[in-house]
């Protein structure tokens, strides 16, 4: 009875942490609502468009670079102190922006510092929610967990934009006018709202969101018995060796720190009985060498291939393929703990980083409004109204596609990796290939892109960007393990801060050239030096041609990533088969 009560309590805690993590994820994407109040910042401080774009880019970059700061904090102090760090930084960032906006005090440099703090706070909340909840579930369900959490992260821009539009709208001017520039009282209140809501939720999450260190076993349904689980071995290379467990007649033994999934309720239970208690959570034993009843191993660093040759499978009754008690060895559910220095010497790390930095499509997401202006008839009096409506439609399509892509890629990748024993990185590779399709449409269409084709482009780019974003979390765990997960995320993501600059500068350079080459005739009552006056295929085609070539590099890198991980898994399978022969 006590065991059942404790199990229910643990299960409740685990799923409550997921729900809290969803709220944290929504708040962590609050920076994506910058467009909803950027114009008011421009009016309040007298900024130009370059100033506003620079301020926005600083926030986005801070989210990536912030991994280098909050990653080690999470690895060292855990999710609680990481969330406390997030609450302090977001209070300073958004709170400082609120005061600066209300008093019209400070300049661009001061706001950049404050927005940078808000960006790092978003990263801290993102990492704490993601890492803590993934640690509560096995590698076999990490895709589903990360997909669910990151789906809410993807929806954050829509949520906060709608909040700003419907709850903090109006043209009332700020109460205190200390300069000649006037801003909106609604935006001032919105910044105060961001300060309060983000700080409060981060503090609540720090109290109630828990990473379960010693989860209790959960009874499995019959359909789960065939599911391969994940077992973690932390090999002590300095002390060396494995310990023999005679009670299970196994030649395979573990080091002092062992994490495994199968539950061993009683030592005198048969292997079949143990399989009845199979679960997908992780249990950590300290200084107690126990042999697992699964062959889904996890060794530290690249030594896994060397050690595997001498490893023998546990002597359990394994029936023929397709039987109810079969526990197949799955090398792609291995989570290899690597120290940050070891990660730098991994080919998978560099393939992963290159693919993400070179990935294209962000220029489409950031400039879909100017693309719509370029393809609409310039002399139609309804063009301006249609452009606003169509921009809203495509932003919504991208957001919904992003959410669906994150959920689908996580859930399906978990199922595929368990059923067919294939690397999760195949979905990353396929997503990069699909991104190329809308880029080719935009860059190589013989005439103006039609509105239906633009809908296809928005849906595909939204879904694939969502998929790659969700797969990043689970693939980082697959490749580099959980022990230094925060640092691994930081190393993989930090260079991605260059991606927004590459995408925006590439599109802007070709767009400006197209504007210069256009005739000086007015368009809809405006001159051609207006940023929105570029009309025709030349406004976007050249930039997407270059983007297509860059995406090919990304596809090659993603393909090498898939090949390298599959090759590593196959070598491990061969070594295990040779050892058991």
What does the pLDDT read at residue 178? 52
Evaluate whether residue 41 is within a structural domain. yes
Q: Measuring CA to CA, which residue among 24, 158, 152, 151 is closest to residue 86?
A: 24
Between 524 and 114, where is the model more confident? 114
Percentage with pLDDT > 90 across the chain:
18
Highest mean pLDDT among 71-75, 88-92, 179-183, 310-314: 88-92
Tell me if 220 sits within 8 A of 286, measured CB to CB.
no
- Kindly report which listed range (349-358, 405-414, 423-432) carries the lowest average pLDDT score: 405-414
Query: Closest Cα to residue 358, out of 432, 295, 412, 421?
Result: 432
In a domain? residue 179 = yes
Query: pLDDT-based confidence at 44, cuts 50/70/90?
Result: confident
- The verdict on residue 160 lying in a domain is yes
Q: Comparing 348 with 173, which gets the higher pLDDT?
A: 348
Q: What percent of the chain has pLDDT over 70?
A: 72
Candidates 266, 197, 190, 263; CA nearest to 229 is 263
Rounded to whole angstroms, what are the CA distances from 168 to 32, 114, 189? 16, 22, 7
Task: Say what the pLDDT of residue 456 is.
Answer: 93
Question: Which H helix or E strand runs over 91?
Answer: helix 67-103
Count of Cβ atoms closer than 10 Å to residue 447 Cβ: 8
Does 285 share its domain with 346?
no
The average confidence (pLDDT) of the chain is 74
Mean pLDDT value across residues 402-406: 86
User: Does residue 338 contact residue 346 with C-beta atoms inside 8 Å?
Assistant: yes
Residue 310 pLDDT level (bands cut at 50, 70, 90): very low
Position 136 scores a pLDDT of 83
Q: For residue 129, which of 427, 481, 485 has the smallest C-alpha distance?
A: 485
Two structure tokens written together for 487: 């640092």
Question: What pLDDT is recorded for position 171?
Answer: 61
Domain final residue pick, 275, 299, 329: 329
What does the alpha-carbon distance between residue 151 and residue 400 come to, in Å, rounded to a whole number?
9
Task: Give the number of domains in the chain.
Answer: 3
In whole angstroms, give the CA distance from residue 512 to residue 59: 24
Domain limit, last residue, from 261, 294, 329? 329
If one compares 388 and 296, the residue with the highest pLDDT of the two is 388
- 353 and 473 in a single domain? The answer is yes
Sheet holding 283-286, edge to edge: 232-234, 257-260, 283-286
The DSSP 8-state label assigned to residue 233 in this structure reads E
Judgement on whether residues 33 and 136 belong to the same structural domain of the protein? yes
> What is the span of the domain harbouring residue 519?
335-581
Q: Are residues 430 and 495 in the same domain?
A: yes
Using alpha carbons, select from 237, 247, 188 the residue that is nearest to residue 43. 188
Q: Which residue has the higher pLDDT, 400 or 552?
A: 552
| Structure confidence at residue 277 as a pLDDT band (50, 70, 90) | very low
In this structure, the answer to whether residues 135 and 273 fall within a common structural domain is no
Residue 294's pLDDT is 37
| Cα–Cα distance for residue pair 13/209, rounded to 1 Å | 8
Euclidean distance between CA atoms 27 and 15, whole angstroms: 19
Of the residues 219, 253, 281, the one at which a domain ends: 219
pLDDT of 86 over the 90 cut: yes
Q: Are 301 and 354 members of one domain?
A: no
pLDDT digits (tens, 9 = 90+) for 132-185: 888 888 777 878 888 888 888 877 877 887 787 778 876 666 655 555 556 678
Q: Is residue 262's pLDDT more than 90?
A: no
Name the most confidently modeled range: 294-298, 381-385, 545-549: 545-549
For residues 457 and 525, membership in a common domain is answered with yes
Q: Does one domain contain both 204 and 316? A: no
Cα 537 to Cα 256, 491, 507, 521, 541, distances in angstroms = 64, 39, 13, 17, 6
**What pLDDT was estimated at residue 87?**
94
Q: Return phi, psi of residue 259, to 5°.
A: -120, 130
Q: What pLDDT score does 279 carry?
A: 34
224 located within any domain: no
Taking the CA of residue 313 as centre, how many other CA atoms within 13 Å lie in the half-sphere pointing to its CB? 20
> Do 325 and 340 sit in the same domain of this protein?
no
DSSP structure string for 179-240: SS---BHHHHHHHHHHHHHHHHHHHHHHHH----SSPPP-PPPGGGTTS----EEE--TTT-
- Work out the pLDDT band at 422, boundaries 50, 70, 90: confident
Q: Is residue 95 part of a domain?
A: yes
Task: Give the pLDDT mean for 189-199.
Answer: 92
Quick one: 165 and 38 in the same domain? yes
CATH number of the domain that residue 128 is part of: 1.20.1250.20
Give the CA radius of gyration of the chain.
26
User: Can you list the alpha helix ranges (DSSP code H) found in 449-520?
Assistant: 451-480, 485-493, 498-517
Give the span between the Cα atoms of 391 and 397, in whole angstroms. 10
220 pLDDT band, cuts 50/70/90, is: very low
- The model's pTM is 0.67
Same domain, 152 and 283: no
Report the pLDDT averaged over residues 47-63: 77
Q: In which region does residue 481 sit, left (phi positive, over 0), alpha (psi from -120 to 50) or beta (all else)?
A: left
pLDDT at 520 over 70: no
Mean pLDDT of 297-323: 39
In a domain? residue 52: yes
For residue 438, is pLDDT > 90?
yes
Same domain membership, residue 263 and residue 176: no
């Amino acid at each position: 009875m006590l065991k059942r009560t404790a199990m229910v309590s643990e299960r409740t805690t685990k799923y409550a942490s997921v729900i809290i993590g969803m709220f944290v994820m929504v708040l962590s994407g609050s920076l994506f609502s910058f467009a909803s109040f950027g114009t008011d910042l421009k009016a309040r401080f007298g900024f130009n468009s370059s100033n506003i774009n620079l301020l926005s880019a600083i926030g986005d970059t801070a989210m990536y670079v912030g991994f280098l700061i909050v990653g080690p904090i999470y690895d060292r102090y855990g999710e609680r102190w990481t969330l406390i760090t997030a609450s302090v930084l977001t209070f300073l960032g958004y709170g400082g922006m609120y005061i600066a906006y209300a008093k019209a005090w400070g300049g661009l440099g001061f706001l950049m510092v404050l927005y940078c703090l808000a960006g790092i706070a978003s990263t801290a909340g993102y990492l704490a929610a993601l890492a803590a909840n993934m640690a509560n579930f096995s590698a076999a369900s990490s895709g589903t967990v990360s997909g669910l959490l990151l789906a809410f992260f993807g929806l954050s821009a829509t949520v906060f934009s709608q909040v700003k539009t419907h709850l903090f709208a109006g043209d009332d001017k700020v109460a205190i006018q200390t300069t000649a520039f006037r801003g909106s009282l609604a935006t001032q209140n919105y910044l105060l709202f961001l300060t309060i809501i983000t700080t409060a939720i981060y503090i609540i999450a720090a109290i109630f969101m828990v990473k379960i260190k010693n989860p209790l076993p959960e009874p499995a349904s019959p359909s789960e018995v065939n599911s391969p689980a994940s077992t973690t071995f932390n090999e002590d290379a300095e002390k060396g060796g494995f310990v023999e467990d005679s009670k299970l007649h196994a030649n395979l033994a573990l080091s002092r720190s062992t994490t495994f999934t199968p539950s061993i309720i009683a030592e005198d239970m048969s292997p079949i009985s143990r399989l009845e208690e199979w679960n997908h959570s992780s249990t950590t034993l300290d200084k107690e060498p126990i042999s697992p009843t699964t062959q889904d191993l996890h060794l530290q660093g690249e030594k896994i291939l060397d050690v595997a040759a001498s490893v023998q499978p546990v002597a359990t009754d394994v029936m023929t393929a397709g039987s109810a008690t079969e526990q197949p060895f799955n090398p792609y559910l291995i989570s290899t703990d690597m120290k940050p220095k070891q990660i730098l010497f991994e080919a998978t790390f560099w393939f992963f980083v290159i693919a993400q930095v070179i990935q294209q499509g962000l220029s489409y997401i950031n400039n879909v409004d100017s693309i719509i202006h370029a393809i609409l008839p310039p002399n139609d009096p309804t063009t301006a109204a249609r452009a606003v409506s169509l921009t809203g439609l495509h932003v919504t399509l991208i957001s919904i596609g992003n959410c669906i892509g994150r959920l689908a890629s996580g859930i399906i990748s978990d199922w595929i990796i368990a059923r067919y024993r294939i690397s999760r990185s195949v979905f990353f590779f396929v997503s990069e290939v699909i991104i190329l399709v809308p880029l080719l449409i935009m860059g190589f269409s013989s005439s103006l892109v039609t509105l239906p084709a633009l809908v296809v482009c928005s849906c595909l780019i939204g879904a694939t960007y969502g998929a790659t974003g969700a797969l990043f979390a689970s693939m980082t765990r697959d490749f580099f393990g959980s022990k230094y997960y925060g640092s691994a995320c930081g190393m993989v993501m930090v260079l991605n801060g260059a991606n927004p600059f590459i995408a925006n500068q590439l599109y802007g350079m070709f767009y400006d050239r197209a504007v210069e080459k256009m005739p000086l005739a007015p368009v809809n009552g405006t001159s051609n030096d207006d940023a929105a006056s570029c009309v025709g295929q030349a406004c976007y085609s050249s930039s997407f041609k270059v983007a297509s070539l860059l995406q090919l590099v990304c596809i090659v890198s993603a393909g090498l990533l898939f090949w390298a991980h599959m090759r590593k898994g196959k070598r491990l399978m061969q070594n295990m088969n040779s050892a058991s022969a």
